[in-house]
Chains A and B, each alone.
Chain A
Amino acid sequence: MKKLLILACLLVSLQLSAQTEKYEITDSDYSNKKVEMADEMRSNGKIYVVVGVIFLIFVGISYYLYRIDKKVSKLEKEIKTPKE
């Protein structure tokens, strides 16, 4: 019990000491126009095309995994009930 209490105190103190170094993200970070972001890409830079491409690649990879999964299931079934 005592050990647990010491451990809890340690954790709390660690948390507190970590807090002083934290940088808090505020709303002003979202509207800080001084920092360059891909704003142009968003308005007319066709970023959605890239997102679409990545998404399609992921769909392809998932389908591939799905097919492998089905094939393994089939093999497992064949092994359980031999055809001979």
Chain B
Amino acid sequence: MAKSFTQNMSWLHTWSGLFFGWLLVPIFITGSICVYWFEISVWARPENHVMREAEPAALVEFSEAYLKKTAPDSRFWKIGLPATNARDPILYLSWMDKQGKLARAQFNADGSGDPIRTDTIGGRFFVNFHYILNDLPRQKNSIGLLLVGAASIVFLAGVISGVVVHKRIFKDFFTFRPQAKSRQRTWLDAHNVLSVLPLPFHFLIVLTGMAYLCYAYIPSGIATLYKGSEPAFRVSADFSQDSELVDPAKATPGPIAPNLALALLHDRAVAGELRPEVMGYIVVRDPGRANAVVEMFGAHRQGIFITNSPRVAFDGVSGRVIRAMHARPPISETWDVIAGLHMAFFGGGLMRLLYLVSGVAGAVMMATGQLLFTIKRREQAVSPAAERFYAIVDRINVATMAGACFACIAHLWAIRLLPFEMAGRAAWEVNVFWFAWALAFLHAALRPPKAAWVEQLAATAVLCVFLPVLGYLVPNSGLLDMIARGDWKTAGVDLASLGCGLFIGWMALLLSGERLPRAARKSSLVGA
């Protein structure tokens, strides 16, 4: 007998949702966290905290002196001013070393010239996990990238098939029945409410996430047009008007390039829009040679057009403007809108808060869907094999959802607790994430699912609630001190952890009372 359209959609929704949900829930959790990844990076470097950034000109002067001493022969210097990542006050220098490798150094942006010694991954791991599932370079890790892409397609299909399956979408728009006889009904209501209401946002976030990386998901375009070279594609899409590097061997030696700090002032006169306050980064090609080119880029503008910033290039010897530019090619602008929409680069902290809560709602929505699968089927299991399968699903559910939260907070604990002078510290911060997650899988395999849920959520809640306390073990990070000096960027990480801890603890309490008779459940909720 041919199945109806609704039945087909229901099959698709159930099974693709189940298997990819295991990926999508951790992706949504880390995605929500990495809305604040700059803030986490600042939070992760307590001994380098900067309350007031130095003037851009002073920073450029310092950078130039440092680079002239460290890398006089490099073919290029790049000076990333703090305005590039306005949320992360760091002066970021890079150059080409004698072996032709990219070398870099980071400094406190307060003008003290203190190098940043903490070897920490900061918030970056959450970003990497969110889009490639680990922290290998993306080019070596197409499996992670493609899995996330596949999961995104499944999510979009799940949204559409979910609307088809959910026939009473408008009638049940506001329906949640906690007193319903079957638990399945209650969970289904919760699942529906959390998916229907934020649906437009979830659709937008996943679609823009995929569109942003379209060139990586479908590499045939780059393979055909740019011989597989992604940098060549980026140059063509982003910087199509750049001139070629002149080989210094062919260049005649000339006077040393003028002081960059002066160039900064020079630039102010040239490009009215590119004021020093919004200077993003400076690239010097062939510094100190006759063919030196100094190019300055504006920082991300606060707007949907995140990188559509003005730039100006001038001759590094005469100071003559070679080219000033105020607009980018349309493809670049389109890309920026998509990236801006996905990563909440615009709109400031408030907008990011909306993104965070919406993302968490998405994670909880999918978690309820995963739970529904086993709640609905366990009782109707037709064979011992089916029962075994549902038992395994139950355990994977615990480890991929509660376990992922546990691993995330364990990662933040590692960032706080690993000794600053430890070798390979950043790698160990990431290792702790994986160990914690493996532990969660082991725990879920050994304990009954119900107990595993409660215990993992409770452990996560405890770690979240006590994360702010760890701040008192490292410099400059006591929660109350941070609040007192108005350092909301870093205090926010601790406060958010505290809030999440309370929320997750509350969920653990709810679940712990789940199967008890109603009267007993009430007393357990109140008594605990």
The answer on A and B forming one complex is no
Residues of B within 8 A of A (CB): none
Residues of A within 8 A of B (CB): none
